[in-house]
Amino acid sequence: MNKLFHALFEPLFEPRRIALIGASADEKKTTARPQRFLRKHGFKGEILPVNPSRSEIMGDKAYKNLEAIAGDIDHAYILLNGKDAVEALAACGRRGVKVASILAGGFADAGAAGASLQDDLARIVRETGIRLVGPNSIGTVSTDPPMALTANAAFAVDRLRAGSWAMVSQSGSLIGALLSRADARGIGFSRLISVGNEVDLAVGEIADLLVDDPKTDAILLFMETLRDGERLAHAARRAHAAGKPVIAYKLGRSEIGQELAKSHTGAIAGSDATFDAFCRRHGIARVSMFESLVDVPALLVDRPPARGKRVAVATTTGGGAAMVVDNMAMAGLDIVDPPQALVDWLKPLGIAAGEGKLVDLTLAGAKPEIVAGTIERLLADDGNDAVIFVVGSSAQFNPELAVEPLLKFAKSAKPFAVSLTPSAEKSLALLTAAGVPAFRHPESCAEAMAVCLLRPTPQPVPALAEPARGALDALAAGRVSGFDERCAADFFAALGVPVAKALAIPDAKRIAAAVAEIGGPVALKILSADIAHKTEAGGVALGLPDGQTAAVAAREIEKRVKAHLPNAKLEGFLVQKMERGLAEVILGFRRDPLVGPTITVGLGGVLAEIYKDAATRLAPVDETEARQMIDEVKGLATIRGYRNLPRGDVDALAKAIAAFSALAHQAFADVSEAEINPLLVKRDGEGVVAVDGLVILSAAKDLMPVAIGD
């Protein structure tokens, strides 16, 4: 925490003098709400309504304009629309207001006219140095000291519950939804902020502030898009180091969801796999159920990262626990047997716990000392990484008795959670108040435990060596003449990906010599900058065993191509060694507009496309991460030793992936996409070889920055 931090954090979350520009005296109006809610929830600072036609609003002195206010203004909430809002922001900038928020939508979220207005906002921010929340921000709220600077109807609640989790949301209305859901569970927040269109302050920078906020120990994000990925990456890494989990719900898991996120906020939503890759690299826990945003933090705050994914489950209700277990197993967790020490301890009590993976105490074992003794022994066992206790009807009828033996495990070093099988609001409240993570649905309990145990920790970003001279040369050549097959192959080879041996020859006469040099069988491809689709033009022949056959094929190719495209300028042939492998891999590099450079590995061929079987990471990756990617592609089991099939050269594949991912280097910033398809994986020890590929350069020079790490 430093001066710069305070210069932004305090006016944003703990302002003392707040101007409300366009505040209404009509209490029914939305623009009257900020003043009402500030008062209602006990704001102790000064409220400065600005309204040209009033001298007083709800007991506060009102000002004709900003200039009429003496002294510093920490935060101004602009409640005007369109151009009026732009003018107000300009006035704030001139006046030296530290932070402004704008309530109104109708900017980039509403077509071209709005986008132009939004550009005006961005210009004012640039020129005056004022910091801006929004537009389209329904407000910013702190609970301690209370500061409910918001027009969100959800803050009409009588009491604003304080807590230590902060919520940052790209959707204003979902702040209210989460507030109410958390409150119903006895959970409060430290800060809640609606970031709107993020012209200036975006999720990442705000999350970064919250890392240093002593009142906040978990950062929850509701996201529709990602506008400041670099800053969020930075914040997530700092949060991890500070022991504050960052937990994100993001719309757009389905394609239609992505479209909606787009139309809803005027932003591009990005693909779901790249956002997952972003979360994984930078240590953000992503949840798939909305209420998990309030369900999950208790499992993560103040606990060391989990060591594995083995869960021990004890219960007094076999059926209820079986539901939790079924869902956890589907989420990829392992359920483990109870330790012998527990089995031995339970036996004389008449409880047979060794027969399944569940420790079913049954009704007979529902005594507090048995429950507590069971959980103690499970938590002490090195054979699991987390413990769940599933409570039955006692949670409903005897909440105090049912939860009493569980409360002391609130501070367990290992994740410990309680799942309630019946509807048992009282038990839920008691457990929550005591800090014991408790769940009311088997599905949400399973999701939370999966997020807890499988959540990523920030991964170091591999250092990139200076690119090889050859790669820079090939890229330079490609920039001039375009990336034909030959040029792409040179580029990939220079990056360190083995490519199939090939020779370019000017005419068919040299074919026999070329085949002799390369060794048959070969593939023959027409070379012509005028022919984009060689196969369709009849310009390709495969599997030619010797020079003679190749010569015949070359004549046929020429004949076909001339018939098909009489005006194409032919530049000879590419003679390429036919390669075989155990598996075909597709390797893709792409600069994603949201998260920056990404690399994708998938099984090649049509089936892989159908099964969408691929692993995506932020680029670059090192060989270790490349190995993890290979392991994640299901179909590559065929080269990992599945069912006695011959092993492929997975090490060489990992090396090739890592080498290809070096495209993330700034020197290659105009490579917007590159693909090798197929990359053939040979037997273990025999390497990999790229057979075909392409490189796409970005026309525009407004390139995306390389995503950074820490």
As measured in angstroms, the least distance from the Cβ of 661 to a second copy is 25
- Binds a second copy (CB under 8 A): choice among 257, 467, 470, 709: 257
CB of 399 to a second copy, least distance (A): 12
Which positions ≥6 away from 350 have C-beta within 8 Å?
364
Q: How far is 17 from 32, CA to CA, in rounded Å?
A: 17
**How far is CA 118 from each of CA 20, 107, 370, rounded to the nearest angstrom?**
20, 5, 63
CB 511 within 8 A of CB 554: yes
Locate 241 and state its tokens: 């180091």
Interface pick for a second copy out of 34, 188, 339, 392 (rule CB under 8 A): 392
Q: Does 358 bind a second copy (CB under 8 A)?
A: yes
Cβ-contact 511, 575 below 8 angstroms:
yes
CA distance 698 to 301: 43
Tell which positions 404-433 bind a second copy, by CB under 8 A: 421-425
Asked whether position 254 contacts a second copy by CB under 8 A, the answer is yes
Site membership for a second copy, residue 112 (CB under 8 A):
no
Per CB under 8 A, contacts with a second copy among 362-391 are: 363
Q: Of 146-154, 378-386, 468-476, 566-574, which part binds a second copy (CB under 8 A)? A: 146-154
- Answer for which of 38, 174, 306, 619 binds a second copy (CB under 8 A) is 174
Give yes or no for residue 323 binding a second copy (CB under 8 A).
yes
Query: To the nearest whole angstrom, how small is the minimum distance from the Cβ of residue 603 to a second copy?
Result: 8
Smallest separation, CB 647 to a second copy (Å)? 14
Are the CB atoms for 405 and 368 separated by under 8 Å? yes
Asked whether position 451 contacts a second copy by CB under 8 A, the answer is no
Cβ closest to a second copy, residue 393 vs residue 677: 393
Residue 120 CB, nearest distance to a second copy (Å)?
Answer: 23
Residue length of the chain: 710
H runs (alpha helix) in 14-110: 33-40, 82-95
Q: How far is the CB of 687 from a second copy (least distance, A)?
A: 22
Using CB under 8 A as the binding rule, whether residue 172 contacts a second copy is answered as yes
In the set 128, 171, 549, 600, which binds a second copy (CB under 8 A)?
Answer: 171
Is there binding between residue 152 and a second copy (CB under 8 A)? yes
Beta carbon of residue 444, minimum distance to a second copy (angstroms, whole number): 9
Per the structure block, which two tokens stand in for 448? 């939370």
CB of 260 to a second copy, least distance (A): 4
Contacts (CB under 8 A) with a second copy, residues 583-642? 603, 606-607, 610-611, 613, 634-635, 637-638, 642
Q: Which is nearer to a second copy, 86 or 261 (CB)?
A: 261
- Per-position b or e across 551-577, b if 16+ CB within 10 A of its CB: bebbeebbebbeeebeebebbbbbbbb
Contact status: 291 vs a second copy (CB under 8 A): yes
Measured CA distances, 150 to 97, 140, 157, 190, 571 (Å): 18, 6, 13, 15, 68
Note whether 184 binds a second copy by CB under 8 A.
yes
Q: Which is nearer to a second copy, 252 or 597 (CB)?
A: 252
- The answer to whether 587 touches 657, Cβ cutoff 8 Å, is yes
Strand blocks (E) in 9-104: 17-21, 46-50, 56-57, 60-61, 75-78, 99-102
Give the distance from CA 350 to its chain's centroid: 49
Of 461, 476, 413, 501, the C-alpha closest to 687 is: 501
Residue the block writes with tokens 């507030």: 179
Q: Which of 9, 37, 77, 222 binds a second copy (CB under 8 A)?
A: 222
CB of 170 to a second copy, least distance (A): 8
Q: Of residues 36, 146, 290, 632, which one binds a second copy by CB under 8 A?
A: 290
* Cα–Cα distance for residue pair 593/705, rounded to 1 Å: 10
* Residue 396 binds to a second copy (criterion: CB under 8 A): yes
**Residue 75 CB, nearest distance to a second copy (Å)?**
24
- Name the minimum Å distance from CB 587 to a second copy: 19
Helices assigned H by DSSP within 172-228: 173-184, 203-211
Q: What are phi and psi of 119, to 5 degrees?
A: -60, -40
Cα angle for residues 624, 493, 582 (degrees, 5° grid): 60
For residues 156 and 209, the answer to whether their CB atoms sit within 8 Å is: no
Instruction: Give the footprint of a second copy on residues 329-348 (CB under 8 A).
Output: 329-330, 335
Binding residues for a second copy, total number by CB under 8 A: 78
Binding segment (CB under 8 A) for a second copy, from list 287-295, 558-566, 659-667, 671-679: 287-295
Q: Considering only 47-55, 168-176, 372-380, 556-564, which stretch makes contact with a second copy by CB under 8 A?
A: 168-176
CB of 392 to a second copy, least distance (A): 5
Residues within window 187-206 making contact with a second copy, judged by CB under 8 A = none
Q: How many C-beta neighbours within 10 Å does residue 413 have? A: 9
d(CA 639, CA 222): 40
Q: Which one, 357 or 627, has the nearer CB to a second copy?
A: 357
